[in-house]
A and B are shown apart, each in its own frame.
Chain A
Amino acid sequence: MTRWCLLLRSADLGCRKLLVWTAFAFLLTPATFAQAPVDDASPVPLLTGSAGFITGFTGGQPDLHPIVTPLVLVPIGQRWLFETRATFENDLVEVPGRPGFHGGPVQKEVEYAQLDFIANPYVTITVGRFLTPFGIFNERLYPVWIRNLQADPLILPIGIGPSNASTGAMVRGGFRAHPEFNVNYTIYFSALSTTTPVDSDRFAGGRAGVFVTRARLEIGGSFQHLMQQERSNLFGFHAIWQPVALPLDIRAEYAHSKRGSGYWIEPAYKLSQLPFLRNEMRHTQLVARYQQFFTGELPSDALPPVNTKEFEAGLNYYFIDGLKASGNYGRQFSSLGNLNVWSMGLTYRFVVPLGHAGEAR
C-alpha cells in the first residue's frame, strides 16, 4: 500500500489525470444502463472501449502501464458506420535517484478513424485510416480486454505499417459460400503518410479466410506488397480453432517479411469442466503462448534485433462481462540474454450509449 501511495504521489500530473480517468471509466458504465423509455431497434451512437492498468516486470525492471482506449461508433442510416478509436496511455518506470515511478506526458493517439459503407451482403467499403488487416492480432485481438496475454506477440509489427494503421481504402466482406463454411476477405491500399502520429507506408495487400462452422475452425492467409523502400512482398497465415467438445481456444499466426519472420501459438483453456468450485472455475482461464522470431535480411526498429524465442503462461479471471484480471509469467531467450517477463493487470470493457438505448427485453 505504501508503495502504491508513493507511486501515485510521484506520478506526473498527466499520469495522475490518466489514472483518475481510468478509475472514472471503471465507475461509469453500469449507471448508464438505467431503463430507457424508447423501445426501438434502430442503432444508437456508442462510446465503448476499454480501460486497463497493466503492471509489467521485464528483466526485473518494473513498468506500470495505465491505458484508456475509447471507441466511438456512429451508425448513419441503414448502411453507414463511422468508427474511431483513440488511445491514452503512459509508461511509468523507476528513475535512478528518484523515488517512485515516473512517466512522461500521456501519449495520445487516434489509432483509426474510418467510414464504412455496407454496400450489400458481400461487400463493405471502408475509407480513411484503418487498422491494417495483416494477420488477425492487430485488427481483431489487439484491445486489452480481448487479448489473452497482455504482451504483444514478437511478430506483431510485421505487415501492419509504422503506426499499426493504413491510410487509404479497403474493400471487405464475409459471406456464406457453402452450408459448411463462410468466407471472408479484405483487399486494401494504403498511401504514404509521414505525419506523425498518423504515419503509414505505401502498400497494397489482402487477406482471406475460411471459417468451417461445424468444426469451429478459421484458417486464412495475408499478403502485402510494399510499394516503397525495398518493394518487397510479405505474407502470413493465421488459424483459430475452438473444438466443440472442449472450452479450448487455440490461436496461431505466422508472418514473413524481409525484416524478419516468426510465429506464435496460443492455447487458452477455460476450467469450466472441472468438477469442483464450478462457479469460480467457469470464470477462470489458463493460457499459454509459445513464439519464435527470426531476424531477416534487413534491420527493423520495431522488431527484436536478434533471434528470440519466448514462452508465456498465465491465468485470466473474468469477474463479470468485460472485467478481467490477468497475470502471467514468461521467459524470453535470445543471444542478448535471457529474461523473465511478468505481467499483471486489470482490464475493463465499457459500453455507454450516446442516446436512448432502448429497453432490454
Chain B
Amino acid sequence: MRRNWFLLCCLGMTALLVRSAIAQDQAKSQKSANASVAALPAAAHPAGTHDGAVPSPDTDAAFKERMARLEGEKRFRTNCGRCHQPPHKFPPRVMATAIRHMRVRAMITDEDMRLILKYLTE
C-alpha cells in the first residue's frame, strides 16, 4: 500500500515537473521571440547609416559580432540537428564541455566549435 502511494507521489511529481518545464519552455520561447523582434531594426541597419553617417568602429564591431552570432546559429542548426534535436542553451561552462565532447564524438570542425560556443554562450 505504502509502495503504491510512493509510486503515485513519484508519478505526480513527474507530471508536475513536466508541466512546469513546459511552462518554462513556453516562457523562454516567448522571451527569445520578443528579443528577436527587438533586434530586427538593428540588424536591418547595422551601421546606422540612415542619414549617411560614417559607421563608428564600435558599431562595426557590433555588426561583426552580430554576424558571428548569426553564423554560429546557422552552424548550430546544421551540425547539432544532424544527429539530434538541437538543445536549448546551457550555462557557458556546461556548453564548453558539451561542445568539446561533440568536437570528438561528432567530429565538428574547430571553426564550427568556436562559432557554436560563441552563439550558445553569449
Contact = CB atoms under 8 A, between A and B. Distances in A.
A184 B107 contact: yes
Minimum-distance CB pairs A-B, first 4: A174-B107, A121-B110, A357-B91, A43-B96
Given A73-B98, A81-B104, A319-B22, 20 more contacts: A30-B24, A41-B93, A41-B117, A43-B93, A75-B100, A118-B100, A118-B103, A140-B106, A172-B104, A174-B103, A186-B107, A319-B21, A320-B21, A321-B85, A322-B85, A322-B87, A323-B18, A351-B98, A353-B94, A358-B93
25 contacts: A5-B4, A20-B10, A26-B17, A27-B13, A27-B17, A41-B117, A44-B96, A81-B97, A81-B101, A83-B104, A116-B104, A121-B111, A126-B104, A146-B84, A185-B107, A211-B82, A240-B83, A321-B25, A321-B85, A322-B85, A322-B87, A323-B18, A323-B21, A359-B92, A360-B89
A361 B92 contact: yes
A96 B107 CA distance: 49
Interface in A118-145: 118, 121, 124, 126, 139-141, 145
Interface stretch (A32-40, A54-62, A259-267): A32-40
A38 B15 CA distance: 32
Interface residues of A, number: 68
Contact of A318 (B78, B85, B121): B85
A240 B79 CA distance: 11
A172 B106 CA distance: 10
A182 interface: yes
Nearest to B117: A41
A239 to B, nearest CB: 11
Contact of B109 (A175, A216, A323): A175
B83 A141 contact: yes
Chain A interface, >50% SS class: mixed
B25 A320 contact: yes
A121 B97 contact: no
Given A41-B121, A323-B18, A124 B104 contact: yes
A356 interface: yes
B17 A38 contact: no
Nearest to A5: B4
B87 A43 contact: no
A46 interface: yes
A46 B97 contact: yes
A305 interface: no
Contacts of A359: 91-92
Contacts of A349: 87
A75 B104 CA distance: 12
Nearest to B82: A240
B21 A360 contact: no
B97 A73 contact: yes
Given A321-B25, A323-B18, A361-B122, A351 B90 contact: yes
Interface in A307-337: 318-324
B93 A40 contact: yes
A23 B14 contact: yes
Nearest to A28: B17
A55 B39 CA distance: 46
